[in-house]
């Protein structure tokens, strides 16, 4: 279930030679980290592309079904609560939400 909103992309130079994909937490969005990029105080010659995606808005079971940005549904806390594979898992969900165009093929892996 990808987000309909494109990720926030911040480039610190004209021709980035590195990318950072920064995932937010429950209820937040990519804009929450926008101000942190300058705080990193990267060297002036660093050309980095920061990709800050936004999780889709969906009901979160552990929060009484409240709709919020979440990479996957959280059924509860602890090992007794299996992941809801119908609605995503913590290991796979974020990567489905990042459009391929946000990670240009020109950058080496």
Distance between CA atoms of residues 75 and 86, nearest Å: 12
CB of 9 closer than 8 Å to CB of 16 = no
**How confident is the model at residue 76, as a pLDDT?**
85
Distance between CA atoms of residues 102 and 100, nearest Å: 5
**How confident is the model at residue 89, as a pLDDT?**
55
Residue 80: CA count within 13 A, CB half-sphere:
2
pLDDT per 10-residue tile (average), the chain, 109 residues? 78 89 92 95 93 90 94 83 60 56 56
Distance between CA atoms of residues 85 and 91, nearest Å: 11
Please report which helix (H) or strand (E) contains residue 96, including its range: helix 93-96
| Separation of CA 91 from chain center | 12
**How confident is the model at residue 17, as a pLDDT?**
87
**How confident is the model at residue 108, as a pLDDT?**
58
């Amino acid at each position: 279930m990808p987000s309909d909103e494109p990720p926030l992309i911040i480039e610190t130079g004209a021709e980035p030679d590195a990318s950072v994909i920064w995932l937010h937490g429950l209820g937040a969005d990519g804009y929450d980290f926008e101000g942190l990029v300058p705080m990193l105080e990267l060297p002036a010659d660093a050309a980095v592309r920061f990709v800050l995606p936004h999780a889709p808005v969906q009901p979160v079971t552990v929060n009484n079904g409240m709709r919020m940005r979440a990479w996957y549904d959280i059924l509860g806390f602890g090992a007794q609560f299996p992941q809801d594979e119908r609605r995503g898992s913590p290991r796979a969900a974020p990567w489905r939400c990042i459009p391929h165009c946000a990670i240009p093929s020109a950058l080496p892996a």
